[in-house]
Amino acid sequence: MNSSTKPSAGEAVVHVPIEAVDRFCREVFAAVGADEATADAATRAMIHGSRLGVDSHGVRLLAHYVKVMNGGRLNRTPNVRIVQSFGAVASLDTDHGHGALGAYRAMEHAVELAGTFGIGAVSIRNSSHFGPAGAYVMEAARRGFVGLAVCNSDSFVRLHDGAMRFHGTNPIAFAVPVAGDNPWLLDMATSAVPYNRVQLYRSLGMQLPEGVASEADGSNTLDPSLVEMLAPVGGEFGFKGAGLAGFAEILSAVFSGMKLSFDILPMNGPDVSTPRGLGAFVLALKPGAFVSEETFQAGMQRYVEVLRTSPAREGMTVMAPGDREWRVACEREQTGVPLDPATRDAFAELAEHHRLTPPFGQ
């Protein structure tokens, strides 16, 4: 790469066509020795994030994944397999491979089980950071099934009235197919805000909203520089957010025999060689096993139609879960995905190191 045209960190965000970023991610994974299944799963999950505007779980993660593959934490050629089966449920071992590979495989199997039994659930062992939970439930919805996915992660969120990093941001994702339309797609962290929101406010020198983050003693703060932990969603009803985080924690970690959030090595810590022992959990439901497909589809269509046309607060718009994301996806299919300066620089370095063409041209 010609260093005179290499974009520098001082420049603004660049927009890059989705296909170009997709191609680049796959080439990088191949260059660092990841097998094709890993490259495919990790790329698809990141592109889901970048396409739908969930940039924290988008292609900015590429450099991180490469680092932990090189460090040995992530198995580049894992033997992902079902290690336990019982009726309509199974346990899948990701063999310390990429979390996206484990989660896609698990959801595929859950959908297969749901096709046979009306419902299927797969617990995931020996996994790693899986990125956007919404990516996996979308796979269920794409096939006409309802999908649920949860995971836990290294702890960063206090309990209600707690003063310790206890849960991860433990997301809950749920997708429901809607005939002739985008799925209804909920993908929410059980913390009030993601940590990168705190970082954004810090870099902008702005005060945080009330009740979203806390100091070391658990008391809330508006100053992003004092933040030691996030608050569970719900504010003064944070026991609900903490309870939902527990729902994700129990299904992800206890059902898989994996580490609880407070025992997990930090994602961005100095140790990049020790597998982190993450769990996760996916579930699929076949609507037609409960009511006729026609009844189900008519119900969903009426639900989202009444929702989208319902009265809004002054100056606001009412949206179904996922509507904001589909809007962003539409836009980004035209304009490309934004690469922040740090991600762009990381891409340039990866391209240079592996003699690849970066997605933003030379």
Among 290, 293, 335, 361, binds its own copies (CB under 8 A): 290
Among residues 357, 352, 339, the alpha carbon closest in space to that of 12 is found at 339
Element at 124 (helix H, strand E) = strand 119-127
Footprint on residues 333-362 left by its own copies (CB under 8 A): none
Stretch that binds its own copies, among 9-17, 59-67, 131-139, 289-297 (CB under 8 A): 289-297
Question: Is 184 among the residues that bind its own copies (CB under 8 A)?
Answer: yes
Question: Is 252 among the residues that bind its own copies (CB under 8 A)?
Answer: no
Structure tokens at 204: 């902008």
Among 300, 339, 348, 350, binds its own copies (CB under 8 A): 300
Q: How many CB atoms within 10 Å of residue 268?
A: 10
Among 8, 237, 268, 331, binds its own copies (CB under 8 A): 237
How many amino acids of this chain bind its own copies (CB under 8 A)?
82
Among 136, 174, 201, 360, binds its own copies (CB under 8 A): 174
Structure tokens at 180: 């002739």
Question: Is 119 among the residues that bind its own copies (CB under 8 A)?
Answer: yes
The least distance separating its own copies from the CB of residue 164, rounded to whole angstroms, comes to 5
Question: Is 219 among the residues that bind its own copies (CB under 8 A)?
Answer: yes
CA distances from 198 to 5, 212, 284, 334 (A): 33, 9, 34, 30
In single-letter form, the type of residue at position 346 comes to A
Among 275, 287, 338, 358, binds its own copies (CB under 8 A): 287
Lay out the site mask for its own copies across 50-89 (x = CB under 8 A, - = otherwise): ----------------------------------x-xxxx
Among 18, 66, 253, 351, binds its own copies (CB under 8 A): 253
Structure tokens at 77: 């050629």
Contacts 24+ apart (CB under 8 A), 351-354: 351/1, 351/24, 352/1, 352/6, 354/27, 354/28, 354/31, 354/32
Task: Report whether 241 contacts 234 (CB < 8 A).
Answer: yes
